[in-house]
Amino acid sequence: MSVKQSPRTSCVGIIANPVSARDIRRIIANASNLQTSERVSIVLRILSTLAACGVDRVIMMPDKSGISSMLLRSLSRERNLQHTFPEVEFVPMNVTSTVDDTFLAARYMQEANVSAIIVLGGDGTHRAVVRELIDGVRQGKPAVPVAGLSSGTNNAFPEMREPTVAAMAVGLYAQRKLSVEQALAANKVLEISIDDGLQRDIAIVDAVISSDRFIGARALWKTKSLHAVYLTFADPEVIGMAAIGGLLEPLARTDAGGLAITLSNDPEQDCLHLDVPIAPGMICDVGIADWQSMPADHGFIVPLAAGVVALDGERELPFDAGQRVSVTLRENAFPTVDIAKCMRIAACEGLFRHTSPRQ
């Protein structure tokens, strides 16, 4: 797959997961679902805002769920009304409707040297993009920052934010009106290793150890089989497994280190209990046996003999008796666009001000 190189100052990538927020947690918790038409509306707002900021080219992941086709029709209609949008091109790929689409699109955008990738999805979608970008950096490709927009079920990593504002911040950075130091924030990851690297993966929010021996439904929402939770940050305002840490010992994204929590269903081992929002509208009683900070670059050995590792809310890595599983926190692992900081600096420096023409 050949990549058409573009100037860094005028090209942004967009990855919109067409099936985020459609896992089992949406059913059991009666949560809302983002329809295709609303996803298209969000992308249109992003595109028009990027154009207003001077971005003239966007590379987007294609899909078979209706986003691409509906977006093209909407762009044709809007352009007939003299509305301005960047040139939109789709990644030349065979759509499989699996996570491989996200991997391939992120890889293509990184090779095309986009200024940033705007991701529309949940924790799992963002993890897939970040994993591919980190792998690319190890191969000598540029470190591309991510700007996350929430559309998943349990959204600990992407923040709930109006897409227009997020696109304004990305546009400022893409046009180099804000420097790397002004616009970007460093983020932590958890590296999970089985048998000293025979299997490896990452989590951007949480790695949860469950005694289940099967994957089944990938989304994680039952707490009785959980053994441990490892966190890059712990925000008391989120839902999902990360909320366990957030309500136990808050830890900011910018704080050093992570948090390791041992869970228990044994009253003799519990030191306290927490009422935790595991899914939208679902509060669960979680027993806590112990917790401790996770210093960077220190491997934590999982004491459970066999089970499965869930990464950012989805079961991914089963392991058997005799296999060694370790979890290590890494700091400064990948950059994101700090939307709030970008907008504060833009306001203070008057980047959106202009003089009115004389009448």
**188-225, pLDDT tens digit by residue?**
999 999 998 889 999 999 999 998 766 554 555 567 88
Confidence at residue 288, expressed as pLDDT on a 0 to 100 scale: 95
Closest CA to 311 of 121, 131, 124: 124
Task: State the Cα angle at 161 between 156 and 164, rounded to 5°.
Answer: 145
Residue with more model confidence, 249 or 35: 249
CATH 3.10.450 assigned to 188-333? no
Q: What percent of the chain has pLDDT over 70?
A: 89
Confidence at residue 275, expressed as pLDDT on a 0 to 100 scale: 95
Distances (CA, A) of 245 to 207, 275, 300, 335: 12, 12, 17, 23
Confidence at residue 221, expressed as pLDDT on a 0 to 100 scale: 57
Gap between the Cα atoms of 129 and 127, Å rounded: 5
Confidence at residue 23, expressed as pLDDT on a 0 to 100 scale: 47
Q: How confident is the model over 241-266, as a mean pLDDT?
A: 94
Distances (CA, A) of 72 to 69, 78, 90, 96: 5, 10, 11, 20
Q: Number of helices (H) and strands (E), helices first, in the chain?
A: 9, 16
**311-348, pLDDT tens digit by residue?**
998 888 999 998 999 999 999 999 999 999 999 999 99
Quickly list H helices, 81-122. Answer: 99-111
Confidence at residue 2, expressed as pLDDT on a 0 to 100 scale: 41
DSSP string, 46-74: HHHHHHHTT--EEEE---SSSHHHHHHHH
In the block, tokens 């001077």 appear at 54
Gap between the Cα atoms of 304 and 311, Å rounded: 16
Confidence at residue 3, expressed as pLDDT on a 0 to 100 scale: 42
310 near 208, Cβ under 8 Å?
yes
Confidence at residue 358, expressed as pLDDT on a 0 to 100 scale: 57
Q: How confident is the model over 134-139, as a mean pLDDT?
A: 97
Closest CA to 145 of 90, 92, 182: 182
272-279 and 282-294 beta bridge pairing:
antiparallel
Lowest mean pLDDT among 105-109, 122-126, 199-203, 221-225: 221-225
Q: Where are the domains of the chain?
A: 8-186+334-348, 188-333
Residue with more model confidence, 213 or 127: 127
Q: How confident is the model over 17-42, as a mean pLDDT?
A: 68
Confidence at residue 152, expressed as pLDDT on a 0 to 100 scale: 64
Token output for 332:
């400064």
pLDDT bin (cut points 50, 70, 90) of residue 159 is confident
Q: How confident is the model over 230-245, as a mean pLDDT?
A: 94
Which CATH topology does 8-186+334-348 take?
Answer: Rossmann fold (3.40.50)
**67-89, pLDDT tens digit by residue?**
999 999 999 888 777 778 999 99
Average pLDDT, the chain: 89
Q: How confident is the model over 123-136, as a mean pLDDT?
A: 96
Confidence at residue 212, expressed as pLDDT on a 0 to 100 scale: 79
Q: How confident is the model over 258-274, as a mean pLDDT?
A: 89
Kindly report the backbone phi and psi dihedral angles of residue 203, in degrees, each rounded to the nearest multiple of 5, phi listed first.
-135, 140
Gap between the Cα atoms of 281 and 182, Å rounded: 37
Confidence at residue 157, expressed as pLDDT on a 0 to 100 scale: 94
DSSP string, 209-252: EE--S--SSSB----TTEEEEEES-B-TT--STHHHHHHHS-B-
pTM recorded for the entire structure: 0.89
pLDDT bin (cut points 50, 70, 90) of residue 357 is low
**Would you say residue 7 has pLDDT above 50?**
no
**39-48, pLDDT tens digit by residue?**
999 999 999 9
What distance separates the 2 farthest-apart alpha carbons in the chain?
80
Token output for 131:
């994993």
Confidence at residue 279, expressed as pLDDT on a 0 to 100 scale: 83
Would you mind telling me the total number of residues written for the chain in this entry?
359
Q: How confident is the model over 262-273, as a mean pLDDT?
A: 86
**272-283, pLDDT tens digit by residue?**
999 999 888 889
**Would you say residue 61 has pLDDT above 90?**
yes
